[in-house]
Amino acid sequence: MPIARILLAEDSPTTRSMVVSALELIGDIEVVPTSSGFEALKTLPRFKFDLIITDVNMPDINGLELVSFVKHNPMYRHIPVIIITSETGEKDEARGRALGAAEYVHKPLNPDTLQQVIRRYIRVD
């Protein structure tokens, strides 16, 4: 049984693969990758998640809409959400944080930086 389960919503197969690889190096973490916000919403009730990582720009439901759904739902609002994005605007980051995102990580992703951010929310010995 993994010590933590993370829901990943990222439409780019390359970025999704890089994030999964970086997280697997942390330890016994199960990453459940999804390729869109809509797929993430369908996956959310199927497992107990300890953390959600989402891209902002995705087809159908974007990352900010996903954050809003999670933070307005009593069943999920306790789950920290980390946004990964290529957007660099302060307004976008402020909007994500106002919706309840715990962290913003900018692309291109550095695996070490991503792991440090994840360790703030997932206790790994």
Report CA torsion sign: 123, 106, 21, 34. Answer: positive
pLDDT given for residue 93 in this prediction: 86
Question: Measured over all CA atoms, what is the biggest interatomic distance in the chain, rounded to whole angstroms?
Answer: 40
User: For 86-110, how does the pLDDT look when each residue is reduced to its tens digit (9 = 90+)?
Assistant: 887 788 889 999 999 999 999 899 9
CA distance 8 to 84: 10
pTM: predicted TM-score of the whole model, two decimal places: 0.94
Short-list 80, 44, 74, 42, CA closest to 60: 42
**Mean of the per-residue pLDDT values for the chain?**
92
User: For 24-39, how does the pLDDT look when each residue is reduced to its tens digit (9 = 90+)?
Assistant: 888 889 999 999 999 9
The pLDDT confidence band at residue 125, using thresholds 50, 70 and 90, is low
